Amino acid sequence: MKELVFVGLGLEDENGISIQGLKEVKSAENVFIELYTNLMPNFSLNNFKIISGKQPYILLRHELEEENGKIILNAAEKGKTVFLVPGDPLIATTHITLRLEAKKRKIQTRIIHGTSIISAIMGLSGLHNYKFGKTVTIPFPYNFSETPYKVIIQNKKFGLHTLCLLDINKKKEQFLSINDALKLLLNIEQKRKQKIVTTKTIVVGLARVGSSSQILKAGRIKQLLDFNFGGPPQSLIFPGKLHFMEAEALVAFAGAPREIKE
Protein backbone atom coordinates (compact mmCIF):
# COMPACT_ATOMS: atom_id res chain seq x y z
CA MET A 1 0.00 0.00 0.00
CA LYS A 2 1.31 3.45 -0.95
CA GLU A 3 1.38 5.44 2.28
CA LEU A 4 3.36 8.23 3.90
CA VAL A 5 2.74 8.97 7.59
CA PHE A 6 4.06 12.21 9.09
CA VAL A 7 4.83 11.66 12.79
CA GLY A 8 5.67 14.43 15.28
CA LEU A 9 8.46 13.78 17.78
CA GLY A 10 7.59 16.48 20.30
CA LEU A 11 10.07 18.87 21.88
CA GLU A 12 12.87 17.45 23.99
CA ASP A 13 13.84 13.82 23.40
CA GLU A 14 12.76 10.44 22.01
CA ASN A 15 10.13 10.09 24.76
CA GLY A 16 8.08 12.94 23.28
CA ILE A 17 6.57 10.79 20.53
CA SER A 18 2.94 9.77 21.10
CA ILE A 19 1.87 6.16 21.63
CA GLN A 20 0.07 6.29 18.27
CA GLY A 21 3.20 7.69 16.62
CA LEU A 22 5.31 4.88 18.04
CA LYS A 23 2.83 2.30 16.74
CA GLU A 24 3.10 3.79 13.26
CA VAL A 25 6.92 3.58 13.38
CA LYS A 26 6.89 -0.04 14.51
CA SER A 27 4.56 -1.09 11.67
CA ALA A 28 6.39 0.86 8.93
CA GLU A 29 8.55 -0.66 6.22
CA ASN A 30 10.67 2.49 5.93
CA VAL A 31 11.43 5.16 8.53
CA PHE A 32 13.02 8.53 7.81
CA ILE A 33 13.89 11.36 10.20
CA GLU A 34 14.99 14.98 9.86
CA LEU A 35 16.65 16.80 12.74
CA TYR A 36 17.48 20.21 11.29
CA THR A 37 14.25 22.26 11.31
CA ASN A 38 13.98 22.25 15.11
CA LEU A 39 16.46 21.51 17.85
CA MET A 40 15.62 18.66 20.26
CA PRO A 41 18.17 19.16 23.07
CA ASN A 42 18.29 15.58 24.39
CA PHE A 43 17.18 13.42 21.47
CA SER A 44 19.10 10.12 21.23
CA LEU A 45 18.89 8.18 17.98
CA ASN A 46 20.22 5.10 19.75
CA ASN A 47 17.52 5.26 22.44
CA PHE A 48 14.89 5.77 19.77
CA LYS A 49 16.11 2.64 18.01
CA ILE A 50 15.73 0.69 21.27
CA ILE A 51 12.15 1.80 21.97
CA SER A 52 10.95 1.53 18.36
CA GLY A 53 12.96 -1.36 17.00
CA LYS A 54 13.74 0.74 13.91
CA GLN A 55 16.85 2.48 12.61
CA PRO A 56 15.63 5.71 10.94
CA TYR A 57 17.43 7.05 7.89
CA ILE A 58 18.68 10.55 8.73
CA LEU A 59 17.75 12.94 5.95
CA LEU A 60 20.10 15.69 4.85
CA ARG A 61 18.57 19.09 4.17
CA HIS A 62 19.24 18.96 0.43
CA GLU A 63 17.51 15.57 0.16
CA LEU A 64 14.32 17.08 1.51
CA GLU A 65 14.42 20.54 -0.04
CA GLU A 66 16.54 20.55 -3.20
CA GLU A 67 15.57 17.02 -4.21
CA ASN A 68 11.92 17.49 -3.12
CA GLY A 69 12.04 14.50 -0.79
CA LYS A 70 12.30 12.00 -3.68
CA ILE A 71 13.99 9.43 -1.46
CA ILE A 72 10.95 9.41 0.87
CA LEU A 73 8.38 9.43 -1.92
CA ASN A 74 10.10 6.58 -3.76
CA ALA A 75 10.03 4.51 -0.58
CA ALA A 76 6.36 5.38 0.08
CA GLU A 77 5.41 4.12 -3.38
CA LYS A 78 6.65 0.68 -2.36
CA GLY A 79 5.15 0.44 1.13
CA LYS A 80 4.21 2.18 4.36
CA THR A 81 6.74 4.89 5.13
CA VAL A 82 7.03 7.05 8.26
CA PHE A 83 8.62 10.49 8.24
CA LEU A 84 9.68 11.64 11.74
CA VAL A 85 9.77 15.39 12.37
CA PRO A 86 10.64 17.40 15.52
CA GLY A 87 7.66 19.14 17.07
CA ASP A 88 4.50 19.03 14.97
CA PRO A 89 5.13 17.71 11.43
CA LEU A 90 3.54 20.34 9.21
CA ILE A 91 4.61 23.56 10.89
CA ALA A 92 7.54 23.78 8.42
CA THR A 93 6.41 24.63 4.87
CA THR A 94 8.93 22.17 3.45
CA HIS A 95 6.90 19.31 4.84
CA ILE A 96 3.67 20.67 3.40
CA THR A 97 5.38 20.63 0.02
CA LEU A 98 6.30 16.99 0.56
CA ARG A 99 2.69 16.09 1.32
CA LEU A 100 1.54 17.85 -1.85
CA GLU A 101 4.11 15.90 -3.89
CA ALA A 102 2.81 12.67 -2.35
CA LYS A 103 -0.72 13.65 -3.38
CA LYS A 104 0.44 14.10 -6.99
CA ARG A 105 1.90 10.58 -6.91
CA LYS A 106 -1.37 9.23 -5.47
CA ILE A 107 0.35 8.29 -2.22
CA GLN A 108 -2.00 8.27 0.78
CA THR A 109 -0.85 10.53 3.62
CA ARG A 110 -1.71 10.76 7.29
CA ILE A 111 -0.52 12.99 10.15
CA ILE A 112 0.21 11.96 13.73
CA HIS A 113 0.62 15.27 15.48
CA GLY A 114 3.22 16.02 18.13
CA THR A 115 3.62 18.86 20.61
CA SER A 116 4.37 22.09 18.77
CA ILE A 117 6.83 24.62 20.14
CA ILE A 118 4.32 27.30 19.11
CA SER A 119 1.49 26.11 21.36
CA ALA A 120 3.90 25.07 24.13
CA ILE A 121 5.43 28.55 24.32
CA MET A 122 2.03 30.21 24.44
CA GLY A 123 0.80 27.86 27.14
CA LEU A 124 3.90 28.19 29.31
CA SER A 125 3.96 31.99 29.09
CA GLY A 126 0.38 32.35 30.35
CA LEU A 127 -0.46 34.68 27.46
CA HIS A 128 -3.72 34.10 25.58
CA ASN A 129 -3.09 32.27 22.33
CA TYR A 130 -5.76 34.21 20.41
CA LYS A 131 -3.92 37.46 21.14
CA PHE A 132 -0.77 36.50 19.25
CA GLY A 133 -0.15 38.19 15.93
CA LYS A 134 2.27 37.18 13.19
CA THR A 135 5.21 35.00 14.29
CA VAL A 136 8.67 35.95 13.06
CA THR A 137 12.18 34.46 13.12
CA ILE A 138 15.13 36.62 14.18
CA PRO A 139 18.09 35.63 11.94
CA PHE A 140 21.80 35.57 12.65
CA PRO A 141 23.66 38.89 12.06
CA TYR A 142 25.14 37.55 8.80
CA ASN A 143 21.55 37.25 7.48
CA PHE A 144 20.59 40.65 8.91
CA SER A 145 16.99 41.73 8.44
CA GLU A 146 14.77 44.45 9.93
CA THR A 147 11.68 42.29 9.36
CA PRO A 148 11.39 41.17 13.03
CA TYR A 149 11.34 44.81 14.17
CA LYS A 150 8.67 45.65 11.59
CA VAL A 151 6.52 42.67 12.63
CA ILE A 152 6.69 43.72 16.30
CA ILE A 153 5.49 47.19 15.26
CA GLN A 154 2.62 45.78 13.18
CA ASN A 155 1.44 43.49 15.96
CA LYS A 156 1.68 46.17 18.65
CA LYS A 157 -0.58 48.47 16.59
CA PHE A 158 -3.35 45.95 17.20
CA GLY A 159 -2.38 45.17 20.79
CA LEU A 160 -1.10 41.72 19.78
CA HIS A 161 1.80 39.69 21.17
CA THR A 162 4.76 38.80 18.93
CA LEU A 163 6.45 35.42 19.14
CA CYS A 164 10.04 35.61 17.91
CA LEU A 165 11.69 32.31 17.09
CA LEU A 166 15.49 32.51 17.17
CA ASP A 167 17.61 31.25 14.29
CA ILE A 168 19.51 27.96 14.48
CA ASN A 169 22.10 26.39 12.20
CA LYS A 170 22.22 22.72 13.12
CA LYS A 171 25.03 21.97 10.65
CA LYS A 172 27.34 24.58 12.20
CA GLU A 173 25.95 23.94 15.71
CA GLN A 174 25.05 27.60 16.08
CA PHE A 175 22.04 29.12 17.80
CA LEU A 176 20.97 32.69 18.32
CA SER A 177 20.59 33.48 22.01
CA ILE A 178 17.96 35.71 23.57
CA ASN A 179 20.70 38.11 24.69
CA ASP A 180 22.11 38.51 21.17
CA ALA A 181 18.65 38.78 19.62
CA LEU A 182 17.80 41.66 21.97
CA LYS A 183 21.04 43.42 21.07
CA LEU A 184 20.23 43.09 17.37
CA LEU A 185 16.78 44.62 17.90
CA LEU A 186 18.19 47.45 20.03
CA ASN A 187 20.60 48.28 17.21
CA ILE A 188 17.67 48.52 14.79
CA GLU A 189 15.84 50.74 17.29
CA GLN A 190 18.80 53.14 17.36
CA LYS A 191 18.40 53.50 13.61
CA ARG A 192 14.58 53.53 13.35
CA LYS A 193 13.89 55.43 16.61
CA GLN A 194 10.24 54.32 16.90
CA LYS A 195 10.52 53.47 20.62
CA ILE A 196 9.30 49.92 20.07
CA VAL A 197 12.35 48.06 21.41
CA THR A 198 14.00 50.05 24.18
CA THR A 199 15.82 48.99 27.34
CA LYS A 200 12.54 49.62 29.23
CA THR A 201 10.45 47.36 26.99
CA ILE A 202 8.92 44.33 28.72
CA VAL A 203 9.83 41.04 27.03
CA VAL A 204 9.49 37.35 27.84
CA GLY A 205 12.41 34.97 27.32
CA LEU A 206 11.93 31.20 27.08
CA ALA A 207 14.54 28.46 26.80
CA ARG A 208 14.26 24.69 26.25
CA VAL A 209 10.48 24.72 26.53
CA GLY A 210 9.10 21.27 27.31
CA SER A 211 12.24 20.04 29.04
CA SER A 212 13.05 19.56 32.71
CA SER A 213 15.44 22.52 32.49
CA GLN A 214 13.06 24.97 30.84
CA ILE A 215 13.34 28.65 31.72
CA LEU A 216 10.63 31.32 31.63
CA LYS A 217 11.77 34.84 32.48
CA ALA A 218 9.97 38.15 31.94
CA GLY A 219 11.31 41.62 32.57
CA ARG A 220 12.58 44.79 30.98
CA ILE A 221 15.15 44.32 28.22
CA LYS A 222 17.87 45.94 30.35
CA GLN A 223 17.33 43.16 32.93
CA LEU A 224 17.38 40.32 30.41
CA LEU A 225 20.41 41.44 28.39
CA ASP A 226 22.81 39.70 30.79
CA PHE A 227 20.47 36.99 32.09
CA ASN A 228 21.85 33.47 31.61
CA PHE A 229 19.21 31.42 29.75
CA GLY A 230 21.57 28.49 29.20
CA GLY A 231 21.49 26.36 26.07
CA PRO A 232 19.15 26.26 23.06
CA PRO A 233 16.53 26.37 21.77
CA GLN A 234 15.43 29.83 22.87
CA SER A 235 12.55 32.15 21.97
CA LEU A 236 11.30 35.65 22.71
CA ILE A 237 7.87 37.17 23.19
CA PHE A 238 7.10 40.88 22.89
CA PRO A 239 3.76 41.28 24.70
CA GLY A 240 1.10 43.54 23.26
CA LYS A 241 -1.77 44.87 25.35
CA LEU A 242 -2.05 42.65 28.42
CA HIS A 243 -5.28 41.31 29.87
CA PHE A 244 -5.14 41.48 33.67
CA MET A 245 -4.92 37.67 33.86
CA GLU A 246 -1.97 37.66 31.44
CA ALA A 247 -0.17 40.29 33.52
CA GLU A 248 -0.81 38.30 36.69
CA ALA A 249 0.56 35.12 35.05
CA LEU A 250 3.75 36.87 33.93
CA VAL A 251 4.33 38.19 37.45
CA ALA A 252 3.53 34.87 39.14
CA PHE A 253 5.31 32.46 36.80
CA ALA A 254 7.91 34.53 34.94
CA GLY A 255 9.03 37.00 37.59
CA ALA A 256 7.83 40.08 35.67
CA PRO A 257 7.87 43.42 37.52
CA ARG A 258 4.64 43.91 39.47
CA GLU A 259 3.96 47.28 37.87
CA ILE A 260 2.82 45.58 34.65
CA LYS A 261 -0.37 44.61 36.54
CA GLU A 262 -1.21 48.32 36.65
In 3-state terms, what secondary structure has residue 240? coil
Residues 6+ apart with CB under 8 A from 46: none
User: Side chain identity at 46, as an amino acid letter?
Assistant: N
Residue 205 scores a pLDDT above 90: yes
The pLDDT tens digits for 125-147 are 999 999 999 999 999 999 889 99
As its CATH architecture, domain 3-112 has: 3-Layer(aba) Sandwich (3.40)
Residue 171 scores a pLDDT above 80: no
pLDDT at 262: 77
CA distance 182 to 198: 9
pTM of the model: 0.89
Interval 93-110 mean pLDDT: 92
The overall average pLDDT reported for the chain is 94
Crossing angle of helices 147-157/178-192, nearest 10°? 80
User: Side chain identity at 154, as an amino acid letter?
Assistant: Q
- Which residue in 40, 123, 42, 121 sits closest to 84, CA to CA? 40
CA distance 43 to 175: 17
The pLDDT tens digits for 11-69 are 989 999 999 999 999 999 999 999 887 888 889 999 999 999 999 999 988 898 888 89
pLDDT at 169: 83
Residues 6+ apart with CB under 8 A from 249: 125, 126, 127
Per-domain residue ranges of the chain: 3-112, 117-261
Determine the length of the chain.
Answer: 262
CA distance 160 to 137: 17
CB 32 within 8 A of CB 56: yes
**CATH classification number, 117-261, choose in 3.40.50.12140, 3.30.950.10, 3.40.50.300, 3.30.470.30:** 3.30.950.10
> How far, in Å, are 58, 118, 181 from residue 236 at the CA level?
30, 11, 9
User: Side chain identity at 139, as an amino acid letter?
Assistant: P
What count of other Cβ atoms lies within 10 Å of the Cβ of residue 17?
23
CA distance 45 to 60: 15
CA distance 178 to 185: 11
Handedness of CA 184, 181, 225, 172 (dihedral sign): negative
Strand 57-58 to 3-8 pairing: unpaired
CB 194 within 8 A of CB 153: yes
Q: For residue 213, with 0-12 CB atoms within 10 Å meaning exposed, 13-18 middle and 19 or more buried, which class applies? A: exposed
